[in-house]
């Protein structure tokens, strides 16, 4: 049974804290195995990829088949129906339009001292996108990861997508084509992350790795961070709906199940000002679980991690929402905009009953790669900014150095960094000679 909490009852804080601290991630001790895989790929390159693909994906590869050929891509893409292509093209257009607006501007200004300061933005040179494989892989995630990279100006974008038993998802390859992906490799797991980070004979190394994956992929991303950049370590999906009693219970039930069906460790929460409405939503969820295709997964998620929380008013709802810091937040209330301004911590906010979270997963425009496990308190979803670097620029004139140099020299002396101070003093002495 899911948890039922009431913010006005004794013991609520204890129960709420337990809900926040519940461990939802399946975290087997994979780090040692991942370390060995990474070392193997670094030592043996393509040969290790071939052996590990045979072991984990039951697919026998040769070195020249690690990368999808143009002919293979074209043949698979031809299998996509017209309706599916149109839907994917619409999603790509909307995601592109949204992310183009995120591009920051270079800045430069002249100070009264005569110094010119500023910054400029440049893209990472190459990015690698990890895509979970098989027929259950998600073409929407390809668009959400690859399009921001291309908008940022990344010159080379490679994706790795495992093909267990040789099965590839044609929609994933079409999404890669629409997003401007340059290279597609049929390898996965920690070995794919290692190949992207360190390179092999076939796969050139990248500068940043993004994309979701299982515990082995997450552990590999942790281990290669520093050698390359990564987007985040994502945990199981989660949704919080804040709703008053003036909603369709079945709509809210379906919104919650849309995340519960991802993973048995996913979490679906409802905060409501109407206890009776909360009960109706719970009944609607149970009814939908009778027929939902992924009912075993969604049912386990709802049973183990789901919760309905009754609050006295929306101010309390906002306070609890900030403490939860959800990945996805739906505000199904009379004035969702006003309520949203009271909330600071959320990965993505969906305003009003006509904005289901599922729209954000596909065609809304904003990115669906979002912070989980309360990390929305300090991080943001994937964006163009993840593929850009900011470089600061400073240009001193003799007059500018004369104005601020003595302070720099004084601070260097205070920190006992002699050469620092002398490098400034040498120029100040020359400036004094000129004067």
Other Cβ atoms less than 10 A from the Cβ of 90: the count is 12
Other Cβ atoms less than 10 A from the Cβ of 415: the count is 10
Distance between CA atoms of 357 and 256, rounded to whole angstroms? 9
Give me the half-sphere count of Cα atoms (radius 13 Å) on the Cβ side of residue 24.
27
Which residue among the candidates 183, 264, 327, 409 is catalytic per the annotation?
A: 327
- What residues pair up with 208 in beta bridges, in sequence order? 127, 229
Residue 328 annotated in active site:
yes
Residue 418 annotated in active site:
no
DSSP state of 280: H
- Please, which contacts does 395-398 make with residues 24 or more away whose CB atoms are closer than 8 Å? 395/115, 395/116, 395/117, 396/114, 396/115, 397/113, 397/114, 397/115, 398/431, 398/434
Distance between CA atoms of 94 and 97, rounded to whole angstroms? 5
Other Cβ atoms less than 10 A from the Cβ of 420: the count is 15
Q: Dihedrals φ, ψ of 141, to 5°?
A: -70, -30
Q: Which helix (H) or strand (E) holds 298?
A: helix 295-305
Which residue among the candidates 262, 328, 368, 409 is catalytic per the annotation?
A: 328
Residues serving a catalytic function are 327-328
């Amino acid at each position: 049974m899911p948890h039922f909490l009431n913010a006005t009852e004794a013991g609520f804080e204890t129960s709420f804290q337990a809900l926040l601290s519940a461990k939802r991630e399946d975290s087997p001790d994979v780090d040692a195995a991942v370390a060995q895989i990474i070392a193997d790929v670094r030592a043996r390159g393509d040969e290790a990829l071939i052996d590990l693909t045979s072991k984990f994906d039951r697919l026998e590869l040769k070195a020249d088949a690690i990368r999808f050929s143009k002919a293979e891509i074209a043949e698979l893409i031809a299998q996509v129906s017209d309706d599916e292509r149109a839907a994917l093209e619409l999603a790509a257009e909307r995601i592109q339009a949204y992310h183009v607006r995120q591009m920051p501007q270079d800045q430069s200004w002249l100070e009264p001292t005569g110094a010119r300061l500023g910054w400029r933005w440049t893209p990472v040179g190459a990015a690698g996108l990890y895509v979970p494989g098989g027929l259950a892989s998600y073409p929407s995630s390809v668009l959400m990861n690859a399009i921001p990279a291309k908008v940022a100006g990344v010159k080379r974008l490679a994706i790795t997508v495992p093909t267990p038993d040789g099965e590839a998802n044609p929609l994933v390859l079409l999404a890669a084509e629409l997003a401007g992906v340059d290279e597609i490799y049929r390898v996965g797991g920690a070995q794919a992350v290692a190949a992207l980070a360190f390179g092999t004979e076939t796969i050139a190394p990248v500068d940043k790795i993004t994309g979701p994956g299982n515990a082995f992929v997450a552990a590999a991303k942790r281990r290669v961070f520093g050698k390359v950049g990564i987007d985040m370590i994502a945990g199981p999906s989660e949704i919080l709906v804040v709703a008053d009693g003036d909603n369709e219970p079945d709509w809210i039930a379906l919104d919650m199940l849309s995340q519960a069906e991802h993973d048995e460790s996913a979490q679906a929460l409802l905060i409501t000002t109407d206890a009776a409405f909360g009960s109706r939503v719970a009944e609607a969820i149970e009814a939908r679980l009778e027929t939902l295709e992924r009912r075993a997964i969604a049912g386990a998620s709802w049973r183990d991690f789901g919760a309905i929380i009754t609050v006295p008013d929306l101010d309390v709802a906002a306070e609890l929402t900030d403490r939860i810091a959800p990945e996805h937040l739906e505000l199904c209330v009379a004035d969702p905009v006003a309520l949203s301004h009271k909330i600071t911590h959320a990965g993505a906010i969906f305003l009003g009953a006509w904005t289901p979270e599922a729209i954000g997963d596909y065609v809304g425009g904003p990115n669906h790669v979002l912070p989980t496990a309360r990390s929305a308190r300090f991080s943001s979803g994937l964006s163009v900014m993840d593929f850009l670097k900011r470089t600061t620029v400073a240009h001193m004139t003799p007059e500018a150095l004369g104005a601020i140099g003595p302070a720099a020299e004084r601070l260097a002396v205070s920190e006992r960094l002699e050469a620092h101070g002398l490098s400034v003093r040498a120029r100040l002495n020359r400036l004094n000679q000129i004067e």
